[in-house]
Structure 1
Amino acid sequence: MTYLIDAWLDRPHPYLRILHRETGKVCAVLEEDDLEELRDQGDLDLAGLNSSEPLVLKELVRNLFLFCYARALRPHGEVH
């Protein structure tokens, strides 16, 4: 599968979405708090979002999906 990263990071309430390239379906959404947590952990490389290197983007999408899955497994209301 191929994905697109739709990131709006320079707005008052930034967000990032991962879209399925062929269907346009939203596969994952990261809101402002999620993005801040990823940056604090060192798991969001903003320079990687601007990369045109397929392996860099593949790894970035992989890490974002892993974060979303881990977040979904947390007890309700727990923040790290």
Structure 2
Amino acid sequence: MTYLIDAWLERPEPRLRILHCGTGRVCAELDSQAIRELVDQGDLDVHELEQTPPHAQKETVRQLFLLCYARALGQNHWL
């Protein structure tokens, strides 16, 4: 599977989505609050994300999926 990182990080309300290239479906999404929290915790480096070379994007997508799912699990304390 091929994914695309759709990131609008310079906006006042930044957002980041991972899209499935074949379908255009949003597979994972981080809103501005989540992005700020992850940056503050040191889990997300916006500058590093912007400069990820094409050969390293697969690992970046994997890390972003993990961050999104870990965040989702953390919000559901009953899990």
- Runs of at least 4 residues off by over 3 Å: none
Counterpart CA distance in 1 for 2:68 and 2:37 is 12
Q: Is 1:68 matched with 2:68? A: yes
User: What is the CA distance between 1:75 and its match in structure 2?
Assistant: 4.2
Partner of 1:50: 51
Secondary structure of 1:5's partner? strand
Partner of 1:37: 37
CA contact (8 A) 1:15 1:35 kept: yes
| Uncovered stretches (5+) of structure 1, i.e. residues with no partner | none
The structure with the largest helix share of the pair is 2
User: What is the CA distance between 1:61 and its match in structure 2?
Assistant: 1.0
| Uncovered stretches (5+) of structure 2, i.e. residues with no partner | none
The superposition leaves residues 31-50 of structure 1 with CA deviations (integer Å, 9 ceiling, x where unpaired) of 01111122122222322333
RMSD: 1.8
Q: TM-score, normalised by structure 1?
A: 0.79
Q: Percent identity?
A: 58
Secondary structure of 1:11's partner? coil
1:7 corresponds to which letter in structure 2?
A
Q: TM-score, normalised by structure 2?
A: 0.80
